[in-house]
Amino acid sequence: MSALGAALLLFGLFFLLLFASVPISIAIGVSSFVTIVAVLGWSDATFILGQQMTGGVESFPLLAIPLFILAGNIMNSGGIARRLIDLALVIVGRVPGSLAHTNVVANMLFGALSGSAVASAAAIGGTLHRRQDEEGYDPAFSTAVNISSASTGLLIPPTTAAIVYSTIAGGVSVSALFMAGYIPGILMGLVVIAVATVIALRQGLRGGEGVGIRQGLIVLLRAIPSLLLIIIVVGGIVAGVFTATEGAAVAVVYCLVLSLIYRALNREAIARIIRDTVSATGVVMLLVAASSAMSWIMAFSGIPGAITDAMLSVASSGPVVIALMLIVLLAVGAFLDITPAILIFTPIMLPIAESVGMDPVHFGMVLIMAMCIGTMTPPVGSVLFVATGITGVSIERVVPRLLPFFAALIALLILIAYVPALSLWLPGLTGLLE
């Protein structure tokens, strides 16, 4: 079977199953198996599918994913979100629309610690939305701010998205990816704050009363133990003290000790944390296993090379190719969650990016940010559904309020794609680029 025929069968069946509401991991596995059967025959297909799925999850770096998920779940129940919200109020308390800005800053801080956009949207949005309602904020606007800022933690390290990309991209340095995420992640938060400020001024939303220096220092001291997690984990990984997997284990122990000190955990909470971690890990690892089989059949059939040749034949100049990639990635992000999107499209898009001179670390940031935008868009936006579920605001009311944030974030994505220094300056400064 030709590369074109294999691609049509693979992706045609995958999207058909996806639109039939088949779970993504099952859709990936079934479409991969059928394509392997068509290319190699039944007897080889069963052996190869099992081999690739098993080999796909036999990776030491991937062990960091369940550990970071566990750390994030401990944070959700350990009283850390409340302290970060108090710190965010101190930082932006006097700005018009201060509670909206508090939401953004708290999402940036908590997302960086938990590495989960959904957890951030639930923890921060769930804590703030009642207070925002009491102070007269439009619930649709508040929900839109929470949605558009929750995914900043997917860029600001430590983040499991970078670990997944590193594994699939052939061992791109996790340390370099972590450092590369700081500037895009912070810029993403600042862009949301800028849009929220304009809307707040138009709506006449007032700022908070602020706090005195003494109270501000108390809040900062209460938040420092939580913030130290970033310094310990990311600093240790970048400095080479431990690997990303070992850093994830350190994060679990640190969060557990901190939560015990705060007396925020009991037997029921620990049981729930373990149950949620096992459930989330099972979903992610099944995706990784199924996507490993899909990646193998794509490589065996020559699909990535055929797609690269086709795209370069349409547009040979680098800027045009990058523009086409951005369009494809934004479209993909609207239909796939971030983990399966990275698993499926990294083998396809990375060769194209490298063919026009993009560094793999730079492309990783572009890919992850495009998927971050996808988490806030229907029909499959996970953060969109979680945030609207928390506030009880319908998606129909929220989407129009999301459009200004969506447009601003797309503009930032374009800037990051065409200005490599925004992603590569920090890794280069710390000597992490090859």
Please answer whether residues 287 and 25 qualify as being in contact, where contact means their C-beta atoms are separated by less than 8 angstroms: yes
User: What's the chain's Rg over C-alpha atoms?
Assistant: 22
Q: Which of 256, 232, 260 is nearest to 73 (CA)?
A: 256
Please answer whether residues 312 and 321 qualify as being in contact, where contact means their C-beta atoms are separated by less than 8 angstroms: yes
pLDDT of residue 362: 96
Q: How far apart are CA 392 and CA 234, in angstroms?
A: 36
Please answer whether residues 334 and 377 qualify as being in contact, where contact means their C-beta atoms are separated by less than 8 angstroms: yes
Residue recorded with tokens 């939303």: 205
Q: How large a percentage of the chain has pLDDT more than 70?
A: 96
Please answer whether residues 195 and 411 qualify as being in contact, where contact means their C-beta atoms are separated by less than 8 angstroms: no
Longest dimension (CA), the chain: 73
Q: Is the pLDDT of residue 276 over 70?
A: yes
Residue 412's pLDDT band, with cuts at 50, 70 and 90, is very high
Q: Cβ contacts of residue 288 below 8 Å, gap of 6+? A: 56, 57, 62, 164, 167, 339, 343
Q: Quick one: how far is CA 433 from the chain centroid?
A: 22
Q: What is the mean pLDDT of the chain?
A: 84
Q: How far apart are CA 174 and CA 237, in angstroms?
A: 8
Q: How large a percentage of the chain has pLDDT more than 90?
A: 19
Residue 206's pLDDT band, with cuts at 50, 70 and 90, is low
Please answer whether residues 100 and 190 qualify as being in contact, where contact means their C-beta atoms are separated by less than 8 angstroms: no
Reported as a single tens digit per residue, the pLDDT across 370-399 is 998 988 887 667 788 888 888 888 888 998
Residue 209's pLDDT band, with cuts at 50, 70 and 90, is low
Lowest mean pLDDT among 22-31, 71-80, 412-421: 71-80
Q: How far apart are CA 140 and CA 203, in angstroms?
A: 13
Q: Quick one: how far is CA 91 from the chain centroid?
A: 25
Q: For 51-59, what is the mean pLDDT?
A: 83
pLDDT of residue 211: 62
Q: Is the pLDDT of residue 207 over 70?
A: no
Reported as a single tens digit per residue, the pLDDT across 328-375 is 888 888 877 788 888 888 988 898 899 888 999 999 999 999 998 988
* Secondary structure letter of residue 265 according to DSSP: -
